[in-house]
Structure 1
């Protein structure tokens, strides 16, 4: 019997500092669409304030070649551990998943940092595939953002 609950994780080494990377996801996600417009078309503030837990943002993005939308609440921001947790509350992902959490954490290294992505979800049925496309999107955005952050240095 397959489980309806899934979790995917990956790590991406980047040259940018954990502080800089975390700052973008926790406080300035709306800048991501400037960095990688072919993947993320826009991130809009719907409710709350940038950089505050409870803030609701709307992501317009490309997923497997299709334009999609996800409304997310920022559930937690942990500045000490460079971690931000998002929960999807509306959008295309909820057609396939009852629950979808995205956790992005940057850990400082001697040079650069290590970005750890965790996707936790509950599928609506056993026919729904794992969220590998979303994980690949996270990897691609991480690399694009790293290039952008290190060009500015």
Structure 2
């Protein structure tokens, strides 16, 4: 089996109240506030290395996925302020038990009346029996709605 068949991409779009710039800034500059906005999903977020909100910084997340306590370290790979797009790479944690590579793209479209949050994940599985990260996409949809309800 070729490695390309182990690669995939998932996209979830969620419409939010017209405060997408606030949502983008929360993820980029103040992610440590996210646990208080969605305590059932995210228990903790700490800067592991670097300066929060800058390319190269690494965040340590404690979260619940499918009823299990999980940990992930995400590194900010790129911040495109003009397009409100932040790219994260999972560099350590539970995801890397199943995935060779895992990138998360958070894009907030604030043009027009409706603001849309788009979560895109690109991944490469370690083996064909690893499931696609569909439950993770559901997690991000719920997390986005929690943040909207409690912050925006």
Q: For residues 121 and 112 of structure 2, what CA distance do their matches in structure 1 show?
A: 27
Moved over 3 A (4+): 109-112
Asked whether the equivalents of residues 46 and 58 of structure 1 are also in contact (C-alpha less than 8 Å), the reply is yes
2:5 paired with 1:15: no
Gaps of 5+ in 1: none
Please point out which of 68, 79, 82 is paired with 2:81. Answer: 79
Q: For residues 19 and 85 of structure 2, what CA distance do their matches in structure 1 show?
A: 13
What per-residue deviation string (whole Å, max 9, x for no partner) do you get for residues 69-122 of structure 1?
Answer: 001111111111111111001100000000000001000143341001101000
1:145 match? 147
Asked whether the equivalents of residues 105 and 121 of structure 2 are also in contact (C-alpha less than 8 Å), the reply is yes
Give the alignment's TM-score, normalised by structure 2.
Answer: 0.94
Give the number of aligned pairs.
150
Asked whether the equivalents of residues 9 and 122 of structure 2 are also in contact (C-alpha less than 8 Å), the reply is yes
Q: Give the root-mean-square deviation of aligned CA atoms.
A: 1.3
Give the alignment's TM-score, normalised by structure 1.
Answer: 0.94
Q: For residues 22 and 84 of structure 2, what CA distance do their matches in structure 1 show?
A: 9
Gaps of 5+ in 2: none
1:65 match? 67
